[in-house]
Amino acid sequence: MSSTQNWVLLGEWALQRDPFGKLVLTTQQGERFVGVVPVRAFPIQSPEVGIALVSTDGKEVAWIEQLDALAEPAQSLIREELATREFVPVIQAIVSVTSFSTPCTWSVQTDRGATAFVLRGDEDIRRIGTAGSLLVADSHGIQFLIRDQYALDPQSKKILDRFL
């Protein structure tokens, strides 16, 4: 196996990116799956556990029990592919709200930049897991993640407490 092929051996299969940027999975038997897509089993609560590699016809062709157990550059290839498919901005700070009653507009700082969205009701803020994680849905159905409500700055916590 030459390094110019950019292959990554993963137990019983190998992974590479083709010249068109698609992931290609090749089994030990030589079966090739072009354009495989990684899909998280538990994208919010356990994003690093249980990732399926799915073929273009929607069939699971490989299973990754634990992403960080894979050697590099396999982890990077899969993480890059996941990043292009997933859009769940992480709220880092709640800058302001227009009102403490709903509907209201939230101005927030996320890992993807500053934005504003309309929160329709308190029920659009859901607790997930046990680590203080929250999922906030805006009026268009876009999901925003707060990884740890207790790690937010004091102003953000104060605003958030009024809605919980």
What DSSP string runs through 124-159?
GEEEETTTTEEEEE-TT--EEEES-GGGS-HHHHHH
Residues 75 and 102 in one domain: no
Same structural domain, 64 and 11: yes
Task: Provide the token pair at 161.
Answer: 């407490």
Show the domain range for 66. 3-85
In terms of domains, do 61 and 10 share one?
yes
Q: Do 53 and 112 fall into the same domain?
A: no
Please give the model's pTM, rounded to 2 decimal places. Answer: 0.60
Whether residue 122 is found in the same domain as residue 96: yes
| 80/95 same-domain check | no
Looking at the structure, tell me whether residues 11 and 73 fall in a common domain.
Answer: yes
Q: What is the pLDDT along the chain (164 residues), one digit of tens a residue?
A: 333 334 444 567 788 888 888 899 888 888 899 999 999 888 777 888 889 899 988 888 888 888 888 877 778 889 888 887 777 899 999 999 999 999 999 999 999 999 999 999 999 999 987 678 999 999 988 889 999 999 999 999 999 999 98
How many structural domains is the chain composed of? 2
